[in-house]
Amino acid sequence: MTPALRTARTCTAAAILSACAAAYGATVSPLLILPGTYVGAIAYWCASRAYDTHRQILARHVQEQRAAAGPAELPSPCCQFWLHSDGEVHGPGCKRPVLPRRDTYRLDYADRRAFEEITAHLNDRSAS
């Protein structure tokens, strides 16, 4: 637990208590809603800032761990074709998971026209 998380939880508790105080104050006088609401809003803002700081600290910690671990290892060969094709062509005995299919129906009109233009001449045997 980081100090920022501890501060965020304290400010959240203060915001909830202020909201309860404002609700109770409304039973006595409508003007007593204002101080509780004001304090609750400030506590909520402080809590959101502290939660952001907590997330930044955790992200920095993960980056430091990855930097200390060194470069990522290369993937191990999944099939014989992988050894000779730089991982582009895979054989029938490949153990690599299948890539998700690309959904072209989500393209807008201009992108769909460009996609159809590219794929229309994909198998042409011309020099260009």
Q: Spell out a b/e string for 68-95, using b for 16 or more CB atoms within 10 Å of the CB, else e.
A: eeeeeeeeeebbebbeeeeeeebeeeee
Is 3 exposed, middle or buried (CB count within 10 Å of its CB: 0-12, 13-18, 19+)?
A: exposed
Answer for the pair 9, 54: CB distance below 8 angstroms, yes or no.
no
Give 69-127 pLDDT, tens digit per residue.
Answer: 887 776 666 666 666 666 565 666 666 665 555 665 667 778 778 878 877 776 666 65
Answering whether pTM is above 0.85, one says: no
Answer for the pair 37, 22: CB distance below 8 angstroms, yes or no.
yes
Does residue 20 surpass a pLDDT of 60? Answer: yes
